[in-house]
Amino acid sequence: MQTEKIDPHIPQRVRQLAAIMFADMTGYTALMGENEEKAKILRDRQRQTLEKFIPGHNGKIIQYFGDGTLSIFSSAIDVVNAAIAIQKELQKEPKVSLRIGIHSGDIVYDHEGVYGDSVNLASRIEALSLPGAVLISDKVFDEVKNQTEIKTALLGNFHLKNVKRQVGIYAIANEGLVVPTSSQINVKAGNEKSIAVLPFVNMSANPENEYFSDGISEEILNALTRVEGLQVTARTSSFSFKGKNEDVRNIGVALGVATVLEGSVRRAGKKIRITAQLINTADGYHIWSEVYDSDLEDIFQVQDEISLKIVKRLKDDFARNKEAKEHMIKPPTDNIEAYNLYLKARYHWNRSNPEDIKKAITIFEEVIKLDPDFALPYSALSFCYSFMGSTGLIPPSEAYPKAKDYTLKAIELDPNHAESHLSLATIKFFHNWDFDGAEVSLNKALSLCLNSSLINQVHGWFLIAKGDFTKAIEKMEQAVKLDPLSLPLMSNLADAYSFAGRFGEALEQYDRIIEMDPIFRRAFEGRGMIHLAKGEYEKAVKDFEQYHTLIGNPLKGLSSLGHAYAAAGYTDKALECLEKIKQRERDEPGTILHMDYAFLYSGLKDFDKAFHYLNKTYEERIGIACLGMIFCIRYPMLKELRIDPRFKDLTRKMGIDG
């Protein structure tokens, strides 16, 4: 029989990626009490089977513990095939009741055994399993999903003990294996008090009424974010299913929610019919379904009624929200024409391109003319002008004062509107460099809107600026939890890991993003930054070249590529990048490229020029450039920049700890 001891020739500590399998014989202790001889026969049969099929599939038994076994493999496909063979063999007489759980990830391997978060997660998955079943994590599923000989069945998203993220669990569904149902597993899928509001379908004769059906969905979603104890998926992720005929159970897994609200809106003149269904994502069954017929003037009452019904259905275990509020949605205006235009403007704002945002500004201004006391359009205009200023579409010196005036007016009209305080926080942060003031506004926004991914994202940026990377990671993780399909948020989380020196987690996050969208260029840039920090210059060059290619403009995306060329010793190529940046500056005289110069010159070790451009960025305080500057001075690969005395002077002026 194979030894249970760790190979003494293993170095002191080895860190590696591995596929981990836990196998545990169920009922062994009870059987020992009833029939010791039979128990030993079954245990020996289990071990003989494992020792045959695990090495036979290129695996290695690391440890026996009681009636269980820990093994590692270098391939996810090998470990799954081994598990299938083991379970099929043990179904023969005398049968052995074995549970198997599999995960893959980073492990630490030394004389005492194998340990790490990935090992713990594999153990948790095995504990969920049933005799005769093989359960795998979402990471393993990603590796085997294209193998036609391996069949899988999705069980759901699960909260596992001491695991921060929800884990998608799949059962191997090959013939002869047990496939558990979600109800057979002793933990509940996702967070019971969680919901995604899908975009209501426009059933009106006029397709242009889509803005109205989208707006109704978004208003209900926003109301639910103010309920303490309720996890509400952000608009970006929930609206990504718009127009797709996706099974609600799959939506629940993708978004990590236990319930989904879906519906439709039919509008004819001032008459409205809204249907709404609250659905359990575990089994796809309706919790309730209702139809509301009303006049347009009663739209707020209908939204309020739907929101209250959801809360009353889900409220039982809310920490401090035992009773639903009397009202969740109060009419923000008495002018229904102004509200209708407001929804139309938000529709354009949510399309997130310069042309639509310009349209949104025009419509929001019309809304204010119809009702000067309507707070929401002022807040929305603040975000519009901040966007225009940060992207250089309007000079920042013109855009940010307008944004500030609008948000202060919104707060004057409605002091309890979370988005207005968040807008003020971003202006204080990006433009005024008022970090103390930004923190006050952030905290106020958070107290008014408990479950906003955007608030957590901005708070994460703020904490990165302050150098508190641990808390920044917490905020970014919460943002991703609330908006799990947002690639920009996932990139922000990877950045936070990188700033904290947690390069393995950062790379894993970027790899995941690229797998989800192979042309999401920001992920290649972020991954390249990590390779720079690790001194892996050729890998960095490769990622930055891909980033530059995906931008599709020969004069853009060159600062990081030039920096990497310089670090890798390709000075001529770095200087070519510098010349192209200068060419772009000549071709686009209104474009500010200070941060491009600063980053490229730091790669060339010309720190005088690097600090010259960093100081110009500070002096001009251009939104996104300022955010880029905050990130730039935190990049782990810029150690030489940070030890320069001028760095302390700069961060002191910025009001942050360098």
Closest CA to 559 of 593, 605, 511: 593
Which amino acid is present at 36?
E
Which class for 590: exposed (0-12), middle (13-18), buried (19 or more C-beta within 10 A)?
exposed
DSSP H or E stretch at residue 137: strand 134-137
| Token pair in block for residue 475 | 């905020």
List Cα–Cα distances, 352 to 219, 345, 359, 360, 383, in angstroms: 18, 12, 11, 10, 11
Residue 63: which residues within 8 A CB-CB, separation 6 or more? 4, 6, 69, 70, 113, 114
Closest CA to 51 of 37, 61, 41: 61
Q: Output the pLDDT for position 326.
A: 60
Q: Output the pLDDT for position 427.
A: 86
Residue 286 lies in a domain: yes
43 and 64 housed in the same domain = yes
Residue 40 lies in a domain: yes
The last residue of one of the domains, among 279, 306, 331, is: 331
Closest CA to 578 of 562, 564, 556: 562
Which amino acid is present at 37?
E
The boundaries of the domain holding residue 149 are 13-184
102 and 167 housed in the same domain = yes
Report the Cα 183 to chain-centroid distance in Å: 27
The last residue of one of the domains, among 141, 162, 184, is: 184
Residue 447 lies in a domain: no
206 and 113 housed in the same domain = no
Q: Are strands 231-232 and 191-197 parallel, antiparallel or unpaired?
A: parallel
Which amino acid is present at 151?
K
556 and 596 housed in the same domain = yes
Q: Output the pLDDT for position 179.
A: 87
Q: Output the pLDDT for position 582.
A: 95
127 and 206 housed in the same domain = no
203 and 144 housed in the same domain = no
Report the chain (658 residues): mean pLDDT per 10 consecutive residues: 44 80 79 77 91 94 83 95 95 90 88 79 86 93 93 82 77 90 51 84 86 88 83 90 82 82 87 88 78 82 81 56 57 88 90 87 95 94 86 77 94 92 87 82 84 86 85 90 89 91 89 88 93 93 96 92 95 96 89 86 93 83 57 72 83 71
Whole-angstrom Cα distance, residue 288 to residue 195?
14
Give yes or no for a cis peptide into 415 (omega within 30° of 0): no
205 and 308 housed in the same domain = yes
Which CATH number fits the domain that encloses residue 321? 3.40.50.10610
Whole-angstrom Cα distance, residue 205 to residue 86?
59
Give phi and psi for 656, each to the nearest 5: -125, 160
Residue 441 lies in a domain: no
Q: Output the pLDDT for position 30.
A: 60
Residue holding tokens 């996706």? 246
Residue 474: which residues within 8 A CB-CB, separation 6 or more? none
Whole-angstrom Cα distance, residue 370 to residue 334?
11
Which class for 63: exposed (0-12), middle (13-18), buried (19 or more C-beta within 10 A)?
middle
Which class for 412: exposed (0-12), middle (13-18), buried (19 or more C-beta within 10 A)?
exposed
Closest CA to 218 of 345, 320, 318: 345
Q: Where are the alpha helices (DSSP H) in 373-499?
A: 375-390, 396-413, 418-430, 435-448, 453-466, 469-482, 487-499
Total number of domains constituting the chain: 3
CA atoms within 13 A on the CB side of 487: 17
98 and 202 housed in the same domain = no
Residue 415: which residues within 8 A CB-CB, separation 6 or more? none
Say how many Å lie between the first and final Cα of the chain, rounded. Answer: 59
Residue 367 lies in a domain: no
- Report the predicted TM-score, pTM, of the whole model to 2 decimal places: 0.68
Which CATH number fits the domain that encloses residue 110? 3.30.70.1230
Residue holding tokens 């210059």? 537
Residue 440 lies in a domain: no
Whole-angstrom Cα distance, residue 63 to residue 8?
14
Residue 305 lies in a domain: yes
173 and 220 housed in the same domain = no
C-beta neighbour count of 129 within 10 angstroms: 26
277 and 196 housed in the same domain = yes
Residue 593 lies in a domain: yes
128 and 204 housed in the same domain = no
Which amino acid is present at 106?
D
Q: Output the pLDDT for position 3.
A: 38
The last residue of one of the domains, among 167, 184, 201, is: 184
29 and 137 housed in the same domain = yes
Give phi and psi for 562, each to the nearest 5: -60, -40
> Are 85 and 57 spatial neighbours (Cβ–Cβ below 8 Å)?
yes
List Cα–Cα distances, 121 to 75, 111, 144, 543, 544, in angstroms: 17, 21, 18, 31, 34
